[in-house]
């Protein structure tokens, strides 16, 4: 199934709202397209209240080439401010050997050519999530996946990270290839990457939005591979 354009719009709008609050905050935003209006749910530790109506025109104009006939006009804002959220330290995600490894090649095929099969579309993780709400951990995992795919044979890779655990227990690995055992890939990852080192990646707003829009030129800060990663 293709990734729906309406889902991409929800992801983009969630990230746009997040950009106004700040990626360095502790925030999670979810946008839902309910056909006639958009609901915005979320929590943040920020005390700067965003007036959604004030940023709608900016959003619609900035992304007009992608939005086309779509124009977000009616919204219901249910963001809760002054909330203390616990940073996300556990994440399980499946990656694919594709340009943007969050999605398989099939999912990225012609997202605008969609059959309307739902009245509700919702933004998906990591869009709308600040760095410490799982986004920087996902970027780390995404970078690891690019390194794993360069060895060949592996077409999808599932990483299960739990930063509450230690040593070998911090990571579990699953993948499709019979050429390598899961533990072989796991050991290679742990030998090269420190999963506990989650330094924020200073992406520009354009890089953030390009990721939401699935632009093929993904950030080199995430896609860079290292010669040190070798599977034997």
Q: Is 76 helix (H, G, I), strand (E, B) or coil?
A: strand
Question: CA–CA separation, 168 vs 187, rounded Å?
Answer: 8
Sequence ranges of the domains in the chain: 5-111+119-223
Helix axes 5-21, 52-62, angle to 10 degrees: 130
Mean pLDDT over the full length of the chain: 91
Contact status, residue 118 vs residue 185, Cβ threshold 8 Å:
no
State which H helix or E strand residue 121 sits in.
Answer: strand 121-122
Question: CA–CA separation, 229 vs 231, rounded Å?
Answer: 7
Q: Report whether pLDDT(118) > 90.
A: no
114 vs 18, residue with greater confidence: 18
Here the tokens at position 218 are 């993904």
Q: Is 55 helix (H, G, I), strand (E, B) or coil?
A: helix
Q: Report whether pLDDT(2) > 70.
A: no
End-to-end CA distance of the chain: 35
Here the tokens at position 169 are 């227990």
pLDDT of residue 100: 87
pLDDT tens by residue, 176-221: 999 999 999 999 999 999 999 998 787 888 888 988 888 765 567 7
For residue 115, count other CB atoms closer than 10 A to its CB. 8
Contact status, residue 124 vs residue 11, Cβ threshold 8 Å:
yes
pLDDT of residue 1: 37
């Amino acid at each position: 199934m293709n990734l729906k354009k309406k889902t991409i719009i929800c992801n983009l709008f969630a990230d746009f709202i997040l950009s106004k609050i700040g990626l360095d905050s502790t925030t999670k935003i979810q946008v839902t397209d309910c056909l006639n209006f958009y609901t915005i749910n979320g929590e943040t530790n920020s005390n700067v209240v965003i007036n959604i109506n004030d940023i709608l025109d900016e959003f619609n104009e900035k992304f007009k080439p992608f939005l086309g006939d779509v124009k977000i006009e009616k919204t219901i804002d249910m963001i809760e401010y002054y909330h203390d959220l616990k940073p996300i330290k556990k994440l399980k995600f499946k990656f694919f050997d594709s340009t943007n490894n969050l999605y398989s090649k099939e999912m990225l095929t012609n997202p605008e050519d969609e059959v309307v099969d739902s009245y509700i579309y919702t933004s998906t993780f990591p869009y709308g999530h600040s760095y410490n709400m799982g986004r920087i951990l996902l970027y780390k995992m995404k970078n690891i996946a690019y390194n794993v795919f360069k060895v060949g044979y592996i077409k999808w890779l599932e990483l299960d990270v739990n930063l509450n655990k230690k040593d070998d227990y911090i990571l579990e690995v699953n993948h499709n290839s019979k050429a390598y055992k899961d533990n072989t890939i796991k050991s290679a990852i742990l030998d090269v990457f420190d999963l506990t080192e989650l330094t924020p990646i200073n992406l520009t707003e354009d890089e953030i939005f390009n990721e939401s829009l699935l632009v093929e030129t993904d950030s080199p800060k995430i896609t860079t591979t290292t010669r040190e990663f070798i599977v034997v």
